[in-house]
Every structure is written in C-alpha cells, then in structure tokens.
Amino acid sequence: MFDHNETLEEARARNVRDALFEDVGVCDWTAQLVPAGQRVKARLIVREEAVLCGRDWFEACLNQLDATARITWAYAEGALMQPNTEVCAIEADARALLTAERPGLNFLQTLSAVATMARKHMDAIEGASPNPRGCVVLDTRKTLPGLRLAQKYAVRVGGGANQRLALYDGILIKENHIAAAGSVTAAVKNAQALVAAQPSPQREQITIQVEVENLDELREALAAGATSVLLDNFSNDMMREAVALNQQLTHGQALLEVSGGVTMDQLRGIAETGVDRISVGKLTKDVKAVDFSLRVLERIGG
C-alpha cells in the first residue's frame, strides 16, 4: 500500500506539520496584535510530578515559526520533573511563541503523560519477577490516531517497551485468525511458511506471536513451534501453569506475554508468576494530560 515504513523522524515532522496546520491555518489573528519583530523571554512550568517527554516535538513547533528561537531545558528527556518547577527557559519572537504555544504544549502534555504512565507501571513490578529474563510492561496498538510512533517512543522514554509498532512490524495471530485458519496449529504453520518465503533480511525481522485463551491452546501453540505466545485473560494460577508448561515443553525458551484489561493493582501479582511481558492498552489510550503552564516574563529590547 505504501512504499516504506515511517520512521520516528518522519512521524515527528508529520506530527508537527499537522499540528500547526490544524491550529494556525492561514493566520493566527490574535498573534498579529503583538508588534512584528518583538522578542520575549518566557518560561515553562510543570504543575505536577511527571516524566518529561516530547522535547523534540515542542522545539520543532517553535522552530518552524522562528528558527532563531532558543530553548534552555532544565530537565533531560525522560527525567522526573518536580511540581511547580521550571522545565525550560525560552527566548523567541513573540508572535512565533504565541502561535506555537498550544501545539507545542499539546505534544508535551500528551507524551509526558504516556511516559509517566509507563514509568508508574514499570515501578509497580520492579523486583517482582522470578524470571531470569525479568518482566517488562508493553504498550499496544491502541494509540491516538496519527501519534502511533510518538506515543510508542514515549513508552520507551518511560522505561516500558513496545509491542508491535504496527501491522508491518510482525505477525500476531488472534482468535479470528485461528478460527479462519481452522486451528492454532494451522495458523502457526501458515505464519511460519509465510515468513520463510520472504527474502532476507526481511525474513529475519518478522516476528510471529499467537494469542491463546486456555492451556490446551498454549500446549498446541508450543507444539507447533510458537516462540512467542500471548496469554489472553488468564488467571494468575493459569499463568503459573503456563510458565511451568513452557518450561516443560521448550525449556522456557518461548516468550509468554499477558494481556486483557490488566490494571495497576494486578501488575505485581502477574509479574510474580514468571511471565516475560505484560501488555497494557491504557498506557497510550487512556491519556490524562500533564499540567504545564507557559508564561511570558518580559519583552526584549522594547
């Protein structure tokens, strides 16, 4: 359908263009009330504890309108910000800053929220897993339209990991695929044949994961050669049985991932079962914006 898979850099440029286009259009009439060429100093404050994410998006929004703007950051990307502290100091053309303010803050408040949520989830399972590989929290494809790569980047900034970036990023066999193929075994074998038919290096880059809903399906998937299995809506006891079964049949080589409406309260107990990964859709779909405030402090030379 398309000629290549979008990179993060390409996605960021598209995000910024779209944000400015939808907000500014042909003109920011209110910014015209400020004298042309007037420069100002401003500062950005965060009102709550949060992980900073989205600096490049914020800078790009301003730099698109004022290439000479200077932003001095008080926090690094991924740093934990303290409430009511300065995030950055800005010197820029006043019209450009006022126009870029809302698009830039929209990115910061959204991506910082995702990174903060990812950090909280990773903190919740710290030290809980008996698995020698550890346990990690992953996102899903339940992202805000147009912000897929940005939000997945934010999850990584917060210390989490990414499930598939997109449909191009691997095979995930779910219940409808299994029903259409006839069985778990048939679906897995079809996927293996499809991957084997691809040229190198693409062949080595396509992962295969199969979703199962009970222990019998897990046994069938592992017997068919599945190396990554998604345990959908398993109880904790079933997860422990799944880990034992994986150890018995593959010496623990297959990756076991848990999904299905996982809440923060359930996280640690799930990690304690020994599974490898926990996927949580709310990291990217239930976003509560971080509270930032930008204030102009003074005019420069006027």
Own/partner long-range contacts of 5-12 (Cβ < 8 Å, ≥24 apart): 5/166, 5/168, 5/169, 6/149, 7/149, 8/149, 8/150, 8/153, 11/148, 11/149, 11/150, 12/56, 12/57, 12/60, 12/149, 12/150
Selecting among 28, 139, 211, 220, the annotated active-site residue is 211
pLDDT of residue 78: 98
Q: How would you class 192 by CB atoms within 10 Å of its CB: exposed for 0-12, middle for 13-18, buried for 19 or more? A: middle
259, β-bridge pairs = 232
Q: 232 catalytic, yes or no?
A: yes
Q: 211 catalytic, yes or no?
A: yes
pLDDT band at 203 (very low <50, low <70, confident <90, very high): confident
pLDDT of residue 202: 85
Let me know: does 12 contact 60? Beta carbons within 8 Å.
Answer: yes
Is residue 201 reached through a cis peptide bond, with omega within 30 degrees of 0 on the bond before it? yes
All domains of the chain, ordered by start, with CATH? 8-121+287-299 (3.90.1170.20), 129-285 (3.20.20.70)
Q: Which whole-number Å values give the CA distances from 136 to 4, 124, 140, 158, 241, in the listed order?
A: 29, 11, 13, 12, 20
pLDDT band at 1 (very low <50, low <70, confident <90, very high): confident
pLDDT in tens, 213-243: 999 999 999 999 999 999 999 999 999 999 9
Q: How would you class 204 by CB atoms within 10 Å of its CB: exposed for 0-12, middle for 13-18, buried for 19 or more? A: exposed
Q: What is the mean pLDDT of residues 33-44?
A: 96
Amino acid at 14: R
Q: How would you class 25 by CB atoms within 10 Å of its CB: exposed for 0-12, middle for 13-18, buried for 19 or more? A: exposed
pLDDT band at 44 (very low <50, low <70, confident <90, very high): very high
pLDDT in tens, 96-127: 999 999 999 999 999 999 999 999 999 999 99
pTM equals 0.95
pLDDT at 71 over 80: yes
Q: 93 catalytic, yes or no?
A: no
Torsion sign over Cα 230, 5, 139, 204:
positive
Q: How would you class 111 by CB atoms within 10 Å of its CB: exposed for 0-12, middle for 13-18, buried for 19 or more? A: buried
pLDDT in tens, 251-291: 999 999 999 999 999 999 999 999 999 999 999 999 999 99
State the distance between the two ends of the chain, measured CA to CA, in whole angstroms: 54
pLDDT of residue 201: 87
Selecting among 41, 43, 102, 156, the annotated active-site residue is 102
**Neighbour count for residue 235 (Cβ, 10 Å):** 10
Selecting among 41, 43, 142, 285, the annotated active-site residue is 142
pLDDT of residue 42: 98
Selecting among 14, 41, 174, 219, the annotated active-site residue is 174
Say how many CA atoms lie within 13 Å of 196 toward its Cβ: 6
Q: 142 catalytic, yes or no?
A: yes
pLDDT of residue 301: 81
3-state secondary structure of 90: strand
pLDDT in tens, 125-182: 999 999 999 999 999 999 999 999 999 999 999 999 999 999 999 999 999 999 999 9
Q: How would you class 137 by CB atoms within 10 Å of its CB: exposed for 0-12, middle for 13-18, buried for 19 or more? A: buried
pLDDT of residue 15: 98
pLDDT at 302 over 70: no
Query: Which residue, among 271, 277, 266, 274, has the nearest Cα to 247 in the 3D structure?
Result: 274
Q: 47 catalytic, yes or no?
A: no
Amino acid at 99: T
Distance CA 52, CA 290 (A): 9
Selecting among 6, 77, 213, 232, the annotated active-site residue is 232
